[in-house]
Amino acid sequence: MVFDVLSALGALGVLFIPGIFASFALLNGTKYSGFDKLVFGLILGLILVPLLSFTEYFLFSVKFNALLVLANSLLVLLVSFGIMHYQKQRLGFSFKFENKEWKRYAVLGLLTLFIVLTFYLRFSTAWSANFFEFDPFYYEKLTQRLVTDGFVSTWTGDSFYPHQAFQHWPPMVQYLTGSWFALHQLFSGQMFDKDTLILVSQLYPPIVAAMMCFLMFALIREEYNHYLALIPAALFAITPQLVTKLAAGVAEQQPWGLFTALLLLTLLVMALKQRSYRIALFAGLASLVSILGSQQYLWPAMVLAAFIGVQAILDYLSGSFEKKKTLVLLAVSAGFVLGNVIMALYQEQAYFRFDTPHVMFLASSFVFYALLHGISKQLKLQKFLHRLGALAVLFGLVAVGSLFTSLDDIILTTITSQAQIAVAGGALTKTIQEEAATNAGIFPSAFGVINPNLMILLATMLAVFTTAAFLASKKRFKSAAIVLGVSVVGIAFNPLVDAVLNALSSVVAYPPLQALFALVTASDVFTYMLITLAAASIIYLAKEEKNETPLLLVFIFFPIAFVGLSKVKYLVHLSLAIVIVFGYVLGQSLRVLEYFNDWLKFFSNPAHLRAGVIGILLFVGALTVTVQAQTIPNSLAQLEMTRIP
């Protein structure tokens, strides 16, 4: 037993150690601490060696085996050493406790505790190979073929003759868990055993969940501060749906999809904040392995497409295009495009095609961004109204062009087709449990004490209050009153707006637009999203120092809230989103009060206000975490009972 544990730990180390050194090489020169680089190194350890093994098969038909994994691990290690030597980095770690930095050490200590707790809760019931669901057993069968045959064939005869079953599903999880098992088999000298393969694979969901706990912290810290970021990290560790759906035994593709989506979004925020090419490259890698690892890539791709499109308009109107920002967005978009090409070739276009709508929509959104960047650079219009007029002319030309093309149909159909995943589309799908409509009775068992409807309303109102307080601090009281008035009317009279849109839809005999109106009026989420987006856009346009993160958070949360509040299947995505928005609510509360203090001058020293408010928000957050912790026994009991006999 002890030897098996040591063998498994050695298998993990072969992947993690090169990743750590690669992280120190990649993130050298950034502001991030050794702790951050260490955890990002563990994340790279989940990605680099499996990606290399797959790439070698994809390009050169090199069969998978334990020696190949060792060789790739050594290659990553040597390249990382070479880069670190070129950077003149010292190989070694030192730790010197400074009394004046005790707060930072306390934060790191608590964060480490939450990361360990995240892993423990999800792995504590991993004592059996007959665990949880049927889907993981199918993916384990693919991993078995990888480790026994050295590759997974595109088609198999495991189907009703004469049909062939398709097997080239996104390969990253197979190569990750296959690497661990192949190394464990090599170190222990054991013959192939399917139960051992399943047990080793159960490490994967809890490990990526532990990394997501850190990513949740890093995302909120980047926008607000590291004290408030502890609360969403703790909530991620214990929120029921995020425990059960990222637990050992769920060795399918969804945990990888959620992990890479959060990784991509966190790195994008970091890259935009720091204007860092290194972090942008890391974000591009995250988008690549997102599409190579799971069908869950769809929602981060659509989130990015919407974000980049809106960001293009705001940057044009504010005249704030930057070469570095454009290249950051290019890196992320390019990762998805490259991944789409690889998957189309790997799957022989059986499922992935070169013209996949989601990736094409993302690529088109970036082309639109680059086009506006070029126009802004050439025209060099100084006044806002002049830029607004030029943008109106451009949209007018596009509208005229759509009369002679199917451009408008393509755009509207893509948007509505993605939103329609929130609805069971046929009689057969309505018989599937996870396709059922979400109801409020599920909320306590899925989200614990965090009510998603309340979070939507709080996020919207705080975005509005933040904008109004900012405008008031700039003595623009009429603008602040208009923002408050329009927002209150929009929320209070939302049913009237829906009625107007429904009436307009019946008049307009244009099916794509009618489908879009039907989706907008089906849920209040879209109204809240538009109000929040407008509020964030006003601050973005008005402030000299541009901050893209609030805009991105809007697109992260609200569309996911729509699908999660519509279909049970997407409750886990909504769980992830509401933990993010809980951090947003804490951070925006602090920001509102800071803007009010700028206006009313309650505190002559803003640092005193900030410290007091952070203390109050931490108390509220800690109370929420304490109450949420009461759901842990139920989550573990659920995991104990979900066994397949």
- Whether 330 shows a pLDDT value over 90: the answer reads yes
| More confidently predicted of 263 and 99 | 263
- Average pLDDT, stretch 264-290? 96
Helices 323-346 and 34-60, axial angle in degrees (round to 10):
40
**Top mean-pLDDT range of 35-44, 428-437, 494-503:** 35-44
pLDDT digits (tens, 9 = 90+) for 339-396: 999 999 999 988 888 888 888 889 999 999 999 999 998 888 888 888 889 888 888 8
CA distance 167 to 149: 14
Give CA–CA dist 441/452, Å, rounded: 12
CA nearest to 15, candidates 64, 89, 77, 59: 77
Indicate the pLDDT class of residue 322, thresholds 50, 70 and 90.
very high
Predicted pLDDT at 180:
97
541-550 residue pLDDT tens: 998 888 999 9
How many angstroms separate the CA atoms of 612 and 596, rounded? 15
pLDDT of residue 249: 80
507-514: average pLDDT? 69
List Cβ neighbours of 266 (8 Å cut-off, separation of 6 or more): 215, 218, 219, 222
Cα torsion through 248, 250, 251, 255, rounded to 10: -100
* Beta strand segments in 26-157, E: 155-156
Mean pLDDT, residues 563-586 taken together? 90
Statement: residue 238 has pLDDT above 70: yes
Rounded to 5 degrees, φ, ψ at 292 are -85, -5
Query: How far is Cα 484 from Cα 475, in angstroms, rounded to an integer?
Result: 15
Rounded distance between C-alpha atoms, residue 109 and residue 226, angstroms: 12
- The residue assigned the tokens 């990605």 is 47
Which ranges in 474-548 belong to alpha helices (H)?
477-492, 494-507, 511-522, 525-542
pLDDT band with cut points at 50, 70 and 90 for residue 425: low
Instruction: Using alpha carbons, select from 421, 152, 200 the residue that is nearest to residue 295.
Output: 421
Check residues 440 and 64 and name the one with the higher pLDDT: 64
Look up residue 28 and give its DSSP letter. Answer: T
Residue 629 or 521, more confident:
629
**Closest listed residue to residue 308, CA positions, set 359, 384, 259, 378:** 359
Q: Which residues contact 252 (CB under 8 A, 6 or more apart)?
A: 133, 135, 136, 139, 173
- Residues 190, 148: Cα–Cα separation, whole Å: 13
Q: What percent of the residues of the chain are helix, what percent strand, and what percent coil, each to the nearest 5?
A: 75, 0, 20
Q: What pLDDT is stored for residue 408 in this prediction?
A: 63
How far out from the chain centre does Cα 259 lie? 7
Token pair in block for residue 72: 């790739």
- Mean pLDDT value of segment 126-134: 67
Inter-residue contact 171 to 292 (CB < 8 Å): yes
Supply the pLDDT for residue 574: 92
Of 408 and 295, the structure prediction assigns the larger pLDDT to 295
**Residue among 242, 331, 213, 347 at smallest CA distance from 292:** 347
Q: What is the pLDDT of residue 534?
A: 92
Tell me which of 305 and 431 has the higher pLDDT. Answer: 305
Instruction: Supply 511's token pair.
Output: 């099916």
H or E segment and range at residue 7: helix 2-26
What is d(CA 439, CA 280) in angstroms, rounded to the nearest whole number? 39
* Token representation of residue 91: 């190989």
